[in-house]
């Protein structure tokens, strides 16, 4: 009795031969570009502000002039868009804020 050559199961196929041709493996979306965006709040110290009495802690000190804005960035580094710009002074002791 002779045995017929056994069919090879799909598990024993050559793994490289099972892949589609190289030209079809270059990517699902050839030419596609993706961006990583982020939104954060930036604070800038602009120097000393006026000397005034704080309405919260009632100390008379020199306040700090600050600017803040929200910004949209590409790859968390490249600024693209800025909005909600605000300039204010903050108490150096308790951190109270007054818009100027």
Output 41 or 62, the one with its CB closest to Zn ion.
Answer: 62
d(CA 63, CA 94): 10
Output 56 or 67, the one with its CB closest to Zn ion.
Answer: 56
Evaluate whether 84 touches 70 at the Cβ level (below 8 Å): yes
Mind giving me the DSSP string for 69-81?
EEEEEETTTEEEE
If one asks whether residue 91 binds Zn ion (CB under 5 A), the answer comes out as yes
Q: Nearest approach, Cβ of 27 to Zn ion (angstroms)?
A: 58
If one asks whether residue 94 binds Zn ion (CB under 5 A), the answer comes out as yes
Site for Zn ion, rule CB under 5 A: 54, 56-57, 91, 93-94, 96
């Amino acid at each position: 009795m002779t045995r017929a050559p056994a069919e090879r199961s799909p598990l024993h196929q050559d793994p490289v031969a099972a892949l589609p041709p190289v030209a079809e493996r270059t990517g699902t979306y050839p030419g596609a570009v993706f961006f990583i965006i982020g939104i954060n709040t930036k604070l800038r110290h602009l120097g000393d502000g006026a000397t005034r009495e704080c309405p919260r802690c009632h100390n008379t000190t020199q306040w700090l002039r600050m600017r803040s804005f929200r910004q949209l960035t590409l790859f968390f580094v490249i600024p693209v868009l800025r909005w909600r710009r605000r300039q204010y002074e903050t108490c150096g002791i308790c951190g109270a804020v007054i818009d100027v």
